[in-house]
Amino acid sequence: MAKNTYDSKAIEVLSGLDPVRKRPGMYTDTSCPNHLIQEVLDNSVDEAIAGHCSNIKVKIHKDGKIQVSDDGRGMPVDIHPEHKVSGVELILCKLHAGAKFSGEEYNFSGGLHGVGVSVVNALSESLKVNIKRDSKEYEMHFNNGDKKKELKEIGDVGARNSGTTITFKPNQKYFESEEIKLKELKHVLKAKAVLCPGLTIDFHHEKKSEKIKWFFEDGLKSYLEDSSEGLDLILNESIVSSKNSDTQEVDFVINWLSKNNKNKLDETYVNLIPTAQGGSHLNGFKSGLLEAMKEFCEIRSLLPKGLKINADDVINNATFVISSKLQNPQFAGQTKERLDSKDHMSFVSSTTKDILSIWFNTHTEEGEKIAELAILSAQSRAKASNTVERKKTFKGPALPGKLSDCNSEDLNETELFLVEGDSAGGSAKQARERSFQAIMPLRGKILNTWDLESAEIIKSQEIKNLSTAIGVLPGNSDISGLRYGKICILADADSDGLHIATLLCALFLRHYKNLVQDGRIFIAMPPLYRIDCGKDVEYALDESQKDEVVKLFKSKKGKPKINIQRFKGLGEMNPSQLRETVMDPKTRQLVRLSITATDNANAMMDLLLSKKNAPARKEWLEKKGSLVRI
């Protein structure tokens, strides 16, 4: 129970790398170590963008260590005049320390806040850095973010030999899985080589005896053509564009498919960092593309009377890559998945509009084919008899009575929480941020929809209410009516809650796959335990986390009293606890529901939920049921 008194003694200041270790999810993706590799890689790529590096090597050792090396200038080893430690120690041990704030050392860079590689150090059980510069080689060692060995000179190297090598082993306790997602990593490495022509990237997986080298002279064009092999492209030659100013650049390549294909390429990057959720550059690109197409259609009188096309109509069948570079980009969070730089949107929009307007009007035959695809998409939208319209404030169709809607209509910020039970729904309504968070309580377990057709499941009142709330009908490929940018499943942390979450995941995987592929579906991770020790309060997702917290508290001097509370459900949590643990974007833990071409999600869901697989499910439970931990 919280103390009634509140004075300055209650205020804590976390120093060094403690903030990262205490809340790692605020600084990196804790599902696996991939993002740590990307943080180190981005520093090397920034050297390449600045023209100081032409080779990067990434190696995964048999013992689980990861090594990233480059032939850039090498981290500074001289003593910082103010902080009285070497530049390399400052970079690796101090948050918000870096050379990318002023723009004098790097015109365009992915590292912006000076936290990337220090986060890697904080979350690694061991890290070694080797630096070659000024004809000397230096070495320094760290354990769990703390300095183990001082920086020392270990040898001489040639005058032209320079660069940085970082070798680290992620600390397993900070990640849900210690396995590196190799397919995603190789995709990122290839993309970096594509987006930085002249850069060679070598990848070596020691355990698999796998070696790959990427080098692209032709950049974006060859990348898109390689990725579109086997697809029916409309244009013989993809449209390629590049424009730059003193503070920003945009390069893009685009083509169209005669028939939409889920394997098409649609990627966006900022300073060579992949932005999975798009943002300003993608919005600007879509806006410019739409304006160019509307202008072309008007000039040639292609649009049927009364029909309006939107950006999604034009881009639905497109395969494209956008690469933006800009000074001081504003990202949504440290993982940099979405660009929020508003000024860059107008730059990309005007560039795209100018380039494509000229192209459409000089390639009229191909332009009319692309316009026909957009018109067919718009007609399909218009003819959808029971499309759920987006609700406007105080207007529109009747929304479900239990839905507590938010004020914003911006998909970049709106969130809908599907909450298990009315009790938890009541607490969630008090805990939410009304401006952008909506709450919809659900009645227990929803219908198992895995084996059913989309037209059949809409007969369920609960699913009908849910589809009305989110603005998209099950099985509908058109998501233009989507009302929330994030849809979050919030269920109890017990077995019943996991069952409800599984049924909802099945609903989205089977009947709203486009929302899953678009990265819109999330599962909130409510804690199962609250542990109090004096004025310190920690939450634990499961038994193992609880044991770790208890062990940490017991190590404190004075043998403090420890109180452990197990939550029977979300309804037991007061609004402030609910806000802190599952709703506040700064402190909550959300897991994105995602599928890849290599996973076995469908097979697993078939096994778990399909009626026809009852015998196989029984056999599986008999063999592996004992492994389940709640």
Residues belonging to the active site: 420, 492, 494, 496
Beta strands (DSSP E) in 405-547 are 415-420, 437-442, 486-490, 521-524, 529-533, 536-540
Tell me the C-alpha to C-alpha distance, in Å, between residue 196 and each of 50, 192, 193, 199, 384. 11, 6, 5, 6, 44
3-state secondary structure 178-237: CCCCHHHHHHHHHHHHHHCCCCEEEEEECCCCEEEEECCCCCHHHHHHHHCCCCCECCCC
Amino acid at 188: V
Single-letter code of the amino acid located at 510: R
Look at residue 69 and give its three-state secondary structure.
strand
DSSP states of 148-172 as a string? EEEEEEEEE--TT--EEEEEEEE-G
Q: What is the DSSP string of 381-429?
A: HHH-TT--PPPPTT-SSPPPTT-B--S---TTT-EEEEEESHHHHHHHH
Packing angle of the helix pair 280-299, 342-362 (nearest 10 deg): 30
**DSSP, res 339:** B
Instruction: Pull the structure tokens for residue 278.
Output: 């798009």
Q: How far is CA 266 from CA 113, 321, 383, 476, in A?
A: 28, 6, 27, 21
Residue 622 falls in which region: left (phi positive, over 0), alpha (psi -120 to 50) or beta = alpha
Q: What is the DSSP letter of 279?
A: B
Helices 495-511 and 601-609, packing angle to 10 deg:
120
Give helix 342-362 / helix 364-383 axis angle, nearest 10°: 120
- Around Cβ 381, how many Cβ atoms within 10 Å? 19
Q: Which of 614, 523, 526 is nearest to 577 (CA)?
A: 526
86 contacts 151 by C-beta, under 8 angstroms? yes
Q: Taking a C-beta distance cutoff of 8 angstroms, is the pair 338, 319 a contact? A: no
The one-letter amino acid code at 473 reads: L
Cα–Cα distance measured from residue 245 to residue 302, given in angstroms and rounded to the nearest whole number: 35
**Kind of pairing, strands 66-70 and 55-60?**
antiparallel
176 three-state secondary structure: coil
Q: Can you tell me the distance from the alpha carbon of 419 to that of 155, in angstroms, rounded to the nearest whole number?
A: 61
Q: Tokens standing for 92?
A: 């690796």
Q: What is the DSSP letter of 331?
A: B
Please, what sign has the CA dihedral across residues 604, 610, 612, 616? positive
Length of the chain: 630
Do the Cβ atoms of 480 and 310 come closer than 8 Å?
A: yes
